[in-house]
Amino acid sequence: MSLALRCTDLTRSFGNIVAVNQASLTIQKGTVLALLGPSGCGKTTLLRLIAGLDRPHKGSVEIDGAPVETESVHIPPERREVGLVFQDFALFPHLSVEANISFGLPRHSKPSIRVNEVLLQVGLDGLNHRMPHELSGGQQQRVALARALAPNPRLIMLDEPFSNLDPELRGGVRQEVKKVLSDAAATAIIVTHDQEEALSLADEVAVMMHGQIVQQASPATIYRRPATREVAQFVGDINVIEGRGIGRAVVCDLGTISVVDEVTGPVHVLIRPEALQLTPDQGGQATQVGRIFFGRDQMIELEFDSGLRISSRVGPTFTFVPGERVRVQLTGDVLAFPST
């Protein structure tokens, strides 16, 4: 499989603020990648550098093996064959669905045929003459995606595409977009700060922090084997416990437990809440002191005799009894990082 995109050491500053700091990224053709990171980490700036809407101070961009951005080369956005879907969809309110989609197509290409093709792809066939205000938020999202797909771009980039949708719509629209991109065999970057969105949508996730790509891997690897404590704390819930590394084990309030990588000295032990299984037991190590109930699951807050408080994610049928002792069993991988 060949590379659709290669970014090497991209750097962009605004005054004294370094928005993108030697960021490197590669994407294989046909891959949907989520660019995930907290607000202000440089995600949108990196997207703009890839699209050609802004120029880096250093670094290079290649699309399909051809340089589009170097110190001596700058291919303008309209010649990069990159489709963009913006946060607010950016549909022309005075144009019909068909006119919105065909706006960027060459007139000699029989645009109506292509419009019908992409409307069928996104599940909106027959809505050619609707106006944007006559569509739901999810339908507007799919029109914006159809417009980006229409010119058969080499790369599609979606900037926080679901943030303007009502919460009850997001899950369904996300899966619709995922299917459309998969059916079209599109190469796509979805910029998001939503961890659930990134993990559920993408083939790969690139975590961006402080202007750099700090880890790029499959969603499962990002969640189970985060490269740093900061990544672990950003991607999902995590318990952080002080401990002491003694090789492939750590001594902490949970006892002596095995860890994935060898560590020595003071460490932070990272344990996902779902890795802690609870059994009511008066001789157990911890006491139930709090609960947050979500319906599909619940988070039980535990306090150990040492004063340590951690959380366990359990199913909805677990009976929370304040003050009851529980036995805590650990399952799955445990990570530990040196304390700094």
Same domain, 87 and 142: yes
Is residue 65 predicted with pLDDT exceeding 80?
yes
Please give the residue range of the domain that contains residue 300.
239-338
How far apart CA 172 and CA 132 sit, in angstroms, is: 20
pLDDT score, position 123 = 86
Domain C-terminal end among 185, 213, 234: 234
pLDDT of residue 198: 93
pLDDT in tens, 12-26: 999 999 999 999 999
Give the end of a domain, one of 234, 268, 290.
Answer: 234
* Residues 218 and 116 occupy one common structural domain: yes
pLDDT digits (tens, 9 = 90+) for 215-237: 999 999 999 999 999 999 999 89
- Report phi then psi at 207, rounded to 5: -90, 125
| Shared domain check, 189 and 81 | yes
Mean pLDDT over each residue of the chain, to the nearest integer: 91
pLDDT per residue as tens digits for the range 71-102: 999 999 989 999 988 877 788 899 999 989 98
Q: Give the pLDDT confidence of 191-204 residue by residue, as tens digits.
A: 999 999 999 999 99
- Across 66-70, 83-87, 112-116, 254-258, the highest mean pLDDT is recorded for 66-70
- What is the tally of structural domains in the chain? 2
CATH code, domain carrying 140: 3.40.50.300
- 1: pLDDT confidence band, cut at 50, 70 and 90? low
Residue 139 has what pLDDT? Answer: 87
Contact, 269 vs 336, CB < 8 A?
yes
CATH of the domain at 264: 2.40.50.140
Kindly state whether residues 197 and 145 are assigned to the same domain.
yes
Contact 260, 227 (CB under 8 A): no
Indicate if the pLDDT at residue 286 is higher than 70: yes
Quote the tokens at residue 149: 């797909």
Closest CA to 139 of 185, 105, 101, 104: 101
The predicted model gives 287-299 an average pLDDT of 96
Q: How confident is the model at residue 108 (pLDDT cuts 50, 70, 90)?
A: low
Distance CA 197, CA 144 (A): 19
Structure tokens at 12: 């962009």
Q: What is the pLDDT of residue 122?
A: 87
**Structure tokens of 193?**
């700060």
Same domain, 128 and 183: yes
Which residues sit opposite 270 in a β-bridge? 240, 335
Report the half-sphere exposure of 20 (CA within 13 A, side-chain side). 26
Same domain, 30 and 174: yes
- Residue 162: per-residue pLDDT: 83
The predicted pLDDT at position 319 comes to 93
* Residue 301 pLDDT greater than 90, yes or no: yes
Which single residue is written with the structure tokens 């970057």? 189
The token pair that represents 274 in the structure block = 């779902």
Q: What span, in angstroms and rounded, lies between the C-alpha atoms of 276 and 52?
A: 47
Chosen domain end from 234, 249, 280? 234
Q: What pLDDT is recorded for position 166? A: 78
Report d(CA 271, CA 254) in Å as an integer: 11
Q: In what order do the strands lie in the sheet with 58-63?
A: 17-28, 3-14, 58-63, 66-69
Mean pLDDT (whole number) for 45-55: 95
Both 172 and 303 in one domain: the answer is no
Question: What is the per-residue pLDDT for 111?
Answer: 79
* Residue 292 pLDDT level (bands cut at 50, 70, 90): very high
| Residues 138, 72 share a domain | yes
246 & 169 share domain: no
Identify the residue whose tokens are 């560590």. Answer: 263
Same structural domain, 134 and 40: yes
Per-residue confidence (pLDDT) for residue 113, from 0 to 100: 85
Co-location of 216 and 126 in the same domain: yes
Calculate mean pLDDT across residues 26-32. Answer: 96
- Residues 5 and 50: beta-carbon distance below 8 Å: yes
Secondary structure of the chain as H, E, C letters: CCEEEEEEEEEEEECCEEEEEEEEEEEECCCEEEEECCCCCCHHHHHHHHHCCCCCCEEEEEECCEEEECCCCECCHHHCCEEEECCCCCCCCCCCHHHHHHCCCCHHHCHHHHHHHHHHHCCCCCCCCCCHHHCCHHHHHHHHHHHHHCCCCCEEEEECCCCCCCHHHHHHHHHHHHHHHHHCCCCEEEEECCHHHHHHHCCEEEEEECCEEEEEECHHHHHHCCCCHHHHHHCCCCEEEEEEEEEEEEEECCEEEEEEEEEEEEEEEEECHHHEEEEECCCCCEEEEEEEECCCCEEEEEEECCCCEEEEEECCCCCCCCCCEEEEEECCCCEEEECC
Residue 43 has what pLDDT? 95
Looking at 41-45, 177-181, 322-326, which range is the least confident one? Answer: 177-181
pLDDT the model gives residue 224 = 92
Q: Which residue has the higher pLDDT, 86 or 275?
A: 275
Same domain for 90 and 137, yes or no, is yes
By residue count, the chain amounts to 340
Residue 107 has pLDDT above 80, yes or no: no
Asked whether the predicted pLDDT for residue 304 surpasses 90, the reply is yes
Average pLDDT over residues 172-184: 86
121 pLDDT band, cuts 50/70/90, is: confident
